[in-house]
Amino acid sequence: MSSFSPMATRDLAAVFHPMTQISTLNEQGPMMIVRGEGIHVWDEAGNQYIDGLAGLWCASLGYANEEIAQVAYEQVKTLSYGHLFLDKSHTTAMELAEKLKQMVPGDFSKVFFGLSGSDANDTQIKLVRYYHNAIGRPRKKKIIARQKAYHGITFAAASATGLQPFHQGFDLPVEGFLHTDCPHHYRFAEPGESEAEFATRLAASLEAMILREDPDTVAAFIAEPIMGAGGVLVPPETYFEKVQAVLRKYDILFIADEVITGFGRTGEPFAAQTFDLAPDTMSLAKALTSAYMPLSAVMIPEFMYQAIAEISKEWGIFGHGFTYTGHPVSTAVGLKVLEIYERDDVFAKAARLGEQFQTHIARFADHPLVGEVRGRGLIGACELVANKQNGQAFDPASGVGKYALARMKANGLICRAIGDSLALCPPLITSQDELGELFSRYGRALDETLEWVRREGLLAA
Ligand X SMILES: Cc1ncc(COP(=O)(O)O)c(C=O)c1O
Q: Which residues bind ligand X (CB under 6 A)?
A: 56-57, 116-118, 121, 150-152, 224, 228-229, 257, 259-260, 285
Q: Which residue is nearest to ligand X (CB)?
A: 117
Nearer to ligand X by C-beta: 140 or 148? 148
* Distance between CA atoms of residues 191 and 400, nearest Å: 26
Peptide bond just before 191 cis, omega within 30 deg: no
Shortest separation between residue 118's beta carbon and ligand X, angstroms:
3
* Distance between CA atoms of residues 146 and 80, nearest Å: 40
Shortest separation between residue 428's beta carbon and ligand X, angstroms:
16
Question: What are phi and psi for residue 221, nearest 5 degrees?
Answer: -120, 130
Shortest separation between residue 359's beta carbon and ligand X, angstroms:
25
Shortest separation between residue 103's beta carbon and ligand X, angstroms:
19
Nearer to ligand X by C-beta: 152 or 371? 152
Nearer to ligand X by C-beta: 259 or 386? 259
Overall residue count recorded for the chain in this entry: 461
HSE-CB of 121 using CA atoms within 13 angstroms? 30
Shortest separation between residue 115's beta carbon and ligand X, angstroms:
8
Nearer to ligand X by C-beta: 124 or 244? 124
Beta-ladder partners of 38: 63
Shortest separation between residue 44's beta carbon and ligand X, angstroms:
25
Shortest separation between residue 60's beta carbon and ligand X, angstroms:
13
Shortest separation between residue 163's beta carbon and ligand X, angstroms:
11
* Distance between CA atoms of residues 97 and 21, nearest Å: 38
Shortest separation between residue 140's beta carbon and ligand X, angstroms:
23
Burial (CB count within 10 angstroms: exposed 0-12, middle 13-18, buried 19+), residue 12? middle
Q: Do residues 156 and 122 lie in contact, with contact meaning Cβ atoms separated by under 8 Å?
A: yes
How does DSSP assign 8-43, residue by residue? HHHHHHH---TTS-HHHHHHH----EEEEEBTEEEE
What is the CA 227 to chain-centroid distance, rounded? 7
Q: Decide the pairing of beta strands 370-376 and 379-384.
A: antiparallel
Q: At what angle do helices 66-78 and 328-343 cross, to 10 degrees?
A: 150
Q: Do residues 70 and 59 lie in contact, with contact meaning Cβ atoms separated by under 8 Å?
A: no
| Among 119, 124, 116, CA closest to 58 | 116
Q: Decide the pairing of beta strands 416-418 and 413-414.
A: unpaired
Nearer to ligand X by C-beta: 116 or 290? 116
Nearer to ligand X by C-beta: 119 or 207? 119
Nearer to ligand X by C-beta: 154 or 411? 154
* Distance between CA atoms of residues 253 and 141, nearest Å: 11
Nearer to ligand X by C-beta: 235 or 371? 235
* Distance between CA atoms of residues 48 and 35, nearest Å: 9
Nearer to ligand X by C-beta: 227 or 400? 227
* Distance between CA atoms of residues 200 and 189, nearest Å: 11
Shortest separation between residue 285's beta carbon and ligand X, angstroms:
5
* Distance between CA atoms of residues 404 and 231, nearest Å: 15
Nearer to ligand X by C-beta: 230 or 371? 230
